[in-house]
């Protein structure tokens, strides 16, 4: 009754091809964007920015990137942490080597560098498939972390081995370091994520996305209908790495302000982002956001509940948190292997029939 397609007549090709054909969807998205751009900044302070909103947005971007590779193109990757590191370290090198560069260009450069590295480690993907490909991506993960740790050029020969951010502006607004206004940092990250999400949504419903999905469903069959598997897998690697590289640069420059290869971008990050797309939904743009929200918010919620609510010690709470994390992951996989995005889809289908289901 409230949410339906009936009575919706498309009279032009343009109307047939819009991203959100149902008006309620369009209004919903606009409302969410309005809240995100206008409403949220009103309550923004350092805590909300650093603990909730900025990590959520950045991880959404990383999840979006991994979803393109794993969810849409079907190439399982555990190298996300390494690619995030490439993004972070290349943004640092760009920021320190070219102080005049606008932050947007730095992000673009970091993304492009990561895309190249992603291509390089994606090269074996034609011969190696499935779980065996995990080894190639894990090789990327461990090798990249080791490289940034061992070669001093990457961290400008400083004594700590860490990289720390320098003040840089985007379009005239200071966005990095602790001196930057949290509202500005939040809006900066939000704008980037919105642009990238829109691009992803369009990519996956267009020519590229369809070819990726054909490869995912069965690469030999896709090859037979004239899709070049190697090219499409490599483009998926490149595009996905671009997204992840930008996310890695944002983690370093806007969110944390400092990074150390093994600490910030370790193998745990790879699993975390993979969890996000599994919990959110493989092959779904919305799922990337839902999964990121779930994985970022759940530990905070659990910690508040256990430590403040039940008065547990931090150590015990940490153990319970880890256990609960594992149990919830398994629970989700058993109840809905297609993730939160699938639940949303079911709700929408029910809404279409409401209040007169068959």
- Give me the residues that bind another protein (CB under 8 A), please: 70, 76, 124, 127-132, 134-136, 138-139, 142-143, 145-146, 149-151, 218, 220-221, 224, 267, 271, 274-275, 278, 282, 315-316, 319-330, 333-334, 337
Nearer residue to another protein within complex by CB, 22 or 343: 343
| Cα separations in angstroms, 292 against 142, 169, 340 | 24, 27, 11
Nearer residue to another protein within complex by CB, 32 or 300: 300
Nearer residue to another protein within complex by CB, 27 or 146: 146
Integer Cα distance of 338 and 349 in angstroms: 16
Nearer residue to another protein within complex by CB, 204 or 278: 278
Are 325 and 272 in contact by the 8 Å Cβ rule? The answer is no
Q: How far apart are the first and last CA of the chain?
A: 14
Integer Cα distance of 285 and 200 in angstroms: 7
Integer Cα distance of 269 and 235 in angstroms: 23
Integer Cα distance of 58 and 206 in angstroms: 25
Nearer residue to another protein within complex by CB, 112 or 134: 134
Nearer residue to another protein within complex by CB, 192 or 321: 321
Nearer residue to another protein within complex by CB, 1 or 315: 315
Question: To 10 degrees, what angle do helices 267-280 and 285-303 make?
Answer: 110
Provide φ and ψ at 227, rounded to 5°: -100, 135
Residue 135 CB, nearest distance to another protein (Å)?
5
Residue 311 CB, nearest distance to another protein (Å)?
17
Are 107 and 47 in contact by the 8 Å Cβ rule? The answer is no
Residue 231 CB, nearest distance to another protein (Å)?
19
Check the CA dihedral 209-17-112-103 and report its sign.
Answer: negative
Residue 223 CB, nearest distance to another protein (Å)?
9
Check the CA dihedral 278-279-281-286 and report its sign.
Answer: negative
Nearer residue to another protein within complex by CB, 145 or 193: 145
Nearer residue to another protein within complex by CB, 50 or 75: 75
Integer Cα distance of 49 and 40 in angstroms: 10
Integer Cα distance of 61 and 292 in angstroms: 9
Residue 224 CB, nearest distance to another protein (Å)?
7
DSSP H or E run through 269: helix 267-280
Residue 267 CB, nearest distance to another protein (Å)?
7
Query: Nearest 10 degrees: CA dihedral of 85, 91, 94, 97?
Result: -70
Residue 73 makes CB contacts below 8 A (sequence gap 6+) with 212, 213, 215, 216, 232, 233, 236, 240
Residue 333 CB, nearest distance to another protein (Å)?
5
Residue 134 CB, nearest distance to another protein (Å)?
8
Residue 279 CB, nearest distance to another protein (Å)?
9
């Amino acid at each position: 009754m409230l949410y339906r397609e009936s009575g919706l007549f498309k009279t032009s090709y343009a109307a047939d091809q819009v991203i959100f054909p149902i008006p309620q969807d369009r209004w919903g998205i606009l409302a969410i964007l309005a809240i995100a751009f206008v409403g949220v900044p009103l309550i923004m302070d350092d805590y909300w920015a650093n603990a909730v909103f900025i990590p959520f947005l950045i991880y959404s971007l990383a999840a979006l990137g991994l979803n393109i590779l794993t969810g849409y193109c079907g190439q399982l990757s555990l190298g996300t942490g390494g690619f995030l590191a490439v993004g972070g370290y290349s943004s640092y090198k760009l920021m320190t080597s070219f102080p005049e560069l606008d932050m947007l260009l730095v992000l673009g450069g970091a993304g492009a560098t990561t895309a190249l590295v992603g291509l390089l480690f994606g090269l074996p993907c034609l011969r190696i498939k499935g779980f065996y490909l995990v080894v190639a991506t894990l090789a990327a993960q461990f090798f990249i972390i080791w490289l940034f740790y061992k070669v001093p050029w990457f961290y400008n020969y400083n004594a700590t081995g860490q990289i720390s951010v320098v003040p840089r502006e985007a379009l005239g607004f200071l966005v990095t370091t602790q001196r930057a206004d949290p509202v500005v940092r939040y809006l900066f990250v939000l704008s980037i994520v919105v642009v990238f999400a829109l691009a992803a949504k369009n990519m996956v419903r267009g020519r590229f996305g369809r070819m990726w999905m054909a490869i995912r469903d069965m690469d030999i069959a896709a090859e037979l209908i004239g899709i070049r598997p190697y090219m499409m897998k490599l483009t998926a690697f490149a595009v996905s790495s671009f997204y992840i590289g930008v996310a890695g640069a944002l983690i370093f420059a806007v969110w944390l302000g400092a990074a150390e290869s093994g600490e910030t971008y370790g193998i745990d990050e790879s699993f975390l982002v993979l969890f996000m797309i599994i919990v959110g939904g493989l092959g779904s743009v919305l799922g990337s956001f839902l999964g990121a929200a779930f994985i970022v918010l759940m530990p905070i919620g659990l910690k508040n509940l256990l430590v403040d609510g039940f008065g547990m010690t931090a150590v015990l709470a940490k153990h319970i948190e880890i256990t609960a994390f594992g149990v919830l992951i398994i629970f989700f996989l058993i109840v809905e292997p297609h993730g939160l995005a699938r639940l949303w889809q079911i709700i929408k289908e029910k809404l279409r029939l409401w209040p007169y289901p068959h």
